[in-house]
Structures are given as structure tokens and as C-alpha cells.
Amino acid sequence: MQALRYQYRQLLRTAGLAVALGAIALSVLTPTSAWALFEDDEARKAVLELRTESRASTKEMNRAIEQMKARFEKQFDDMAKHLDRIEATARGQLELQAQLDALRQELATLRGRVEVQTNELTQTQRQQRETFAAIDERLQRFEPKQVTIDGQTFKVEQAERRSFEAALGMFRAGDFKAALGAFQQFQSAYPESPYAPSAAFWVGSSQFALKDYKAAIATHQALIALAPDGPRAPDATLNLGFAQLADGDTKAGRSTLEGLVARFPAAPAARAARERLMALPPDKPARVDRKKTGR
């Protein structure tokens, strides 16, 4: 911008100097020509008039040049101001662009930090879920569980349930001696357990399987006395009748089985009792003492 202004001013000075030199040349050459043509007073008078007119023309030309210079200077100043505004706007735009670039860089940095923190948060949440799941799994091992026993729903401790199921697994595997010990140990550890009637039934069943019939009879009788209408009563009565028959007390066994059929006619155990009764020999008639009758 400064260089442009300097060049413009130099141009104006050059133009003014050219006009001035032209005027001087005109003033010098004109008298010489006039002297060559006219040698009298009239000629000199004409020359003086021409010189005066030349000087007036020069002044007028100088005034016009000054006006022109003034207009050019004003136009130049206006142009310079306009250029200054353009430069200021351009500088502002450059500064704005620089600020935008800086903001973009800062935004990219923040985005990277957010991604890192998001990944860290995701990993932390996953670790927390895994930790909570492990804790919950451990707690569930100790929390009471809902179970169904003989058609009824109860809540039992985990260790209690595992102990009963372990003893039952021994019985089903045919290890009746181990099952008997496990069920008896269960009864001692959990006397008030909802599994207690089932445990007593399996104790009697284990005793029967081990051919300890008298113990089996006592166990089933105690269970029936404790819960005569309980869900285990039909099966316990059937096992009691079988144990009595196996122990040689056919009369008691028959009576027990007949009572089972009469008391629980629709139970599956009653069906087994009927089949066993049909296989029993008929009752012998009672012997009559003839001495007492006199015959």
C-alpha cells in the first residue's frame, strides 16, 4: 500500500513538471519567432500580448493541474481507505480463521480425551458388573432358596438343601448305608427343616433296604404318628406294611395294608398295597379249644 502511494505521487509530480517545462518553452520560443517576423513596435506589442496570454494560460493550466491533483489525491485517499478497510477485514478474517483452526484443534484434542475417558468408563463399568455378578453369585450360595417339597413350597438354606440332596443321591446310587448315615446326620443338623418328613421317610427306606426291619417299622410308625395326613403318609404306611411282612408279622402287615387302602384309596401307594394283599395267603381260621367247649 505504501509503495502504491509513493508511485502515484511520483506520477503526479512528473506530470506537473512536464506541463511547466512546456509553458517555459512556449514563452521563450514565441518572442524569438515574433522578432524574426516583426521589427517594429507593433510586433513587440504583439509579442508582449502573446507572453501575457501564455502566462495566463500557464496559470490556468497550473490551476487545472492542481485541481486535477486534488481530485486524484482525494480519489487516491478514498481508495487507500477502502484498501485499508479491505486489509483490516482480511486481517480479521485471517485472525478468525486462525481462531477457528485453534478451536478445531482443541475440539479434536477434547474428542480424543472423551474417547479415552469413555473407553475407561466402559471398562470400569464392565469390571463393576463382573464384580457385582461374582458377589451376587457368592451371596446366592448362602441365601435361602425356594424349593418344592412333597408338593409344598418352602425356603431353605443352601447348605441345608445341598446336604439333603447329597444324602438322597447316595440312596439313589444304592449306597444305603451311607445314605442312612447322611440322613440321620441331616436330622440332627436340621431338626426343624421342611425336609424333616422326607428325611425320616428315607431313613426308614434305607433301614428297610439294609433289612433292618424293626428299625424301619419304628421309623415309619413315628413318621405316620407325626403327620398322619401328610403327603408322605401313604408311602410311609406302605413301607410300614412291607417291613412288617418282611419281619414275619403277616397279621400286622395285612392290617396295615388294608388300612392304607381304606384310608387312601386313590393314592398310588394303595394300588401297590392291593397288589401285595392279593399275593398274601388267606387268613387261617382261628383254632377252637374243644376242651373249653366240651366237645
pLDDT single digits (tens) 138-156: 666 667 778 888 888 888 8
| In 135-184, beta strands by DSSP E | 145-149, 152-156
- Asked if residues 149 and 155 have their Cβ atoms less than 8 Å apart, the reply is no
Within 8 A by CB and 6+ apart from 149, the residues are 194, 195, 198
Average pLDDT per 10 consecutive residues for the chain, totaling 295 residues: 58 52 48 52 78 81 82 79 82 86 87 89 86 72 77 87 96 97 96 94 97 97 93 96 96 96 95 95 62 48
Q: In angstroms, rounded to a whole number, what is the distance separating the alpha carbons of residues 112 and 102?
A: 15
Average pLDDT, the chain: 82
Kindly report, residue by residue over 236-254, the tens digit of the pLDDT.
Answer: 999 999 999 999 999 999 9
Helix residue ranges, H only, the chain: 2-37, 41-140, 158-172, 176-189, 196-209, 213-226, 233-246, 250-263, 268-279, 290-293
Closest C-alpha among 5, 1, 25 to residue 13: 5
